[in-house]
Amino acid sequence: MQARPDRSRACTLLAAGCTHSGRGTVAVMPTLLVRNATVLVTMDAARREIAGGGLFARDGVIEQVGPTAELPPTADEVVDARDRLVLPGLINTHHHLYQSLTRAIPGAQDAGLFDWLRTLYPIWARLDPGSVRVATTLGLLELARSGCTTAFDHQYLWPNGSRVDDQIEGAAAVGLRFHASRGSMSLSMKDGGLPPDSVVQTIDEILADSARVIGAFHDPSPGAMTRIVLAPCSPFSVTEDLMRATATLARERGVRLHTHLAETKDEESFTLERFGRRPVDYAADLGWLGDDVWFAHGVFVSGDEIGRMASTGTGVAHCPTSNMRLASGIAPVRGYLAAGVPVGIGVDGSASNDSGNLLAEARQALLLCRLTVSPGVGEGPQMSARTALEMATRGGASVLGRDDVGALEAGRMADFFTLDLDRVEFAGSHHDPVAAALLCSPVPADSVFVGGRAVIREGHHVSLDEGALVARHNRAAAALVA
């Protein structure tokens, strides 16, 4: 890949008369040309894949996608994508970035969800603003290196003065579009919930801070880099009152709603015993179905529940590695897709995945889904690589309520990544490079652009000192677990 350094963009701008500071100067909107891609995958309505393709963007917004010969011949920045696959930026729909500090914790390596949580809650209770900040930066960098350009994070515990503000600060250093959540827990052990008292808050504290955070950070405009989501944690850690009040506040303020639902058999039993209802019925009674809602996991849902989600536009974040790691179960993704439920992919927290690689997660979704078709026989229609890629791009955009990302077409943001097809992992796969991106071993993104600006070049972040960040993160992890 030969990409011109940023300084040449500045020179071009200066040559065009932009002083960046002078009064009365006409703003010059920088242009970006990507050309000569082996294949450019649009994920547009026609799902076009353009051999020898490229795109032209102005001020971060795509103006043209097509064969290189039909694009403008030059731009302020030119990216030659020869021997590269160009893909829409991946969109992560469920994560807990702070958990990168507690990967591979010995006592939680071989446990199911509830025991895993009981082991980790006391450690997470020691989080503070600094550890939340460094974990956010590290986790988003890890996602970026896998081709992710938009990430949602579900942070639901705020001990020792940590705030959404710390995450926003940590995210800014990476440059991805960040959907932060004001998550919450309000039902502790003494009231029949799972978490200890030390990590829950009162409903008044939660709602007041939720309103503050929306006012401070939520940007509803197209191309937004930061949005806020309200996200009570799960049926076994949140009261019904908080669920209802959160839905009311979110709809008053125009932000989306997210929670864990139907993740494990334990949770299904808890919901049936405590609330006398199945998980989706419970959510429906609290006002938690709608096209502004998406659930993480949705493993234990009936056909009727899938139908209710489809008819209300309620989405789901499918997290296959976490579901395997915690032995939770297999989500009925084929059923969701057939019914028209919006489905995105999520890496889930780094402590139940031990990884934050979204391309690898899309591959896991593909492979796990195949086990739901006549296991041991392999008959029936199989999920294709392109369907898995669609869930990780268009699907994720729809789950997050965005029509400005998730595909490469005129009017959407220039969010994309490239894969180097000359790598060892792709040798012998050039018969179908698009399928190879999912079927072959997941490789790091060669370059990643968000809104037409490079975040990753030649596999590394354009400005972060990655080694220093890892060292800082490891010190924070050691202090937290000590």
Stretch 174-233 residues interacting with Zn ion (CB under 5 A): none
Residue 67 CB: number of other CB atoms within 10 A?
14
For Zn ion, the closer CB: 39 or 296: 296
What is the nearest approach in angstroms of Zn ion to the Cβ of residue 319? 7
Minimal distance, residue 155 CB to Zn ion, in Å? 10
Rounded least distance, CB 327 to Zn ion, Å: 15
Of residues 69-98, which lie at the interface with Zn ion (CB under 5 A)? none
**Residue 393 contacts residue 87 (beta carbons within 8 Å):** yes
Give the largest CA-CA distance in the chain. 70
For residue 263, state whether it binds Zn ion (rule: CB under 5 A).
no
At its nearest, how many Å lie between Zn ion and the CB of residue 297?
7
Interface map 295-324 toward Zn ion (x if CB under 5 A): -x----------------------------
List 40's β-bridge partners, or say none: 50, 86
Nearer to Zn ion, 305 or 348 (CB): 348
Query: Shortest CA distance to 80 belongs to which of 413, 409, 420, 405?
Result: 420
The minimum distance between CB 267 and Zn ion, in angstroms, equals: 12
Nearest one of 189, 185, 191, 332 to 259, comparing CA atoms:
185
Of 231, 202, 230, nearest in space to 218 by CA: 230
Nearer to Zn ion, 30 or 395 (CB): 395
User: Which residues does residue 2 pair with via DSSP β-bridges, in sequence order?
Assistant: 80
Size of residue set near Zn ion by CB under 5 A: 2
Question: With respect to Zn ion, which residue has the nearer C-beta, 348 or 420?
Answer: 348
Q: Show the CA angle centred on residue 198, arms to residues 351 and 196, nearest 5°.
A: 70
Q: Which positions from 385 through 444 interact with Zn ion, judged by CB under 5 A?
A: none
For β-strands 84-88 and 77-80, DSSP reports them as unpaired
| Separation of alpha carbons 477 and 482, rounded Å | 8
Minimum separation from the CB atom of position 64 to Zn ion (A):
39
Least CB distance to Zn ion at residue 185 (A): 13
**What is the dihedral sign for C-alpha 277, 279, 280, 283?**
positive
Of the ranges 75-83, 326-334, 342-350, 470-478, which one interacts with Zn ion (CB under 5 A)?
Answer: 342-350
Residue 150 contacts residue 415 (beta carbons within 8 Å): yes
Residue among 348, 415, 420, 446 that touches Zn ion (CB under 5 A): 348
- Sign of torsion, CA 206 210 211 216? positive
**Contact (Cβ atoms closer than 8 angstroms) between residue 449 and residue 414:** yes
Q: Which stretch binds Zn ion (CB under 5 A): 53-61, 98-106, 201-209, 345-353?
A: 345-353
* Minimal distance, residue 260 CB to Zn ion, in Å: 6
Candidates 128-136, 288-296, 303-311, 407-415; binding stretch for Zn ion (CB under 5 A): 288-296
Residue nearest to Zn ion (CB): 348
List residues near Zn ion by CB under 5 A. 296, 348
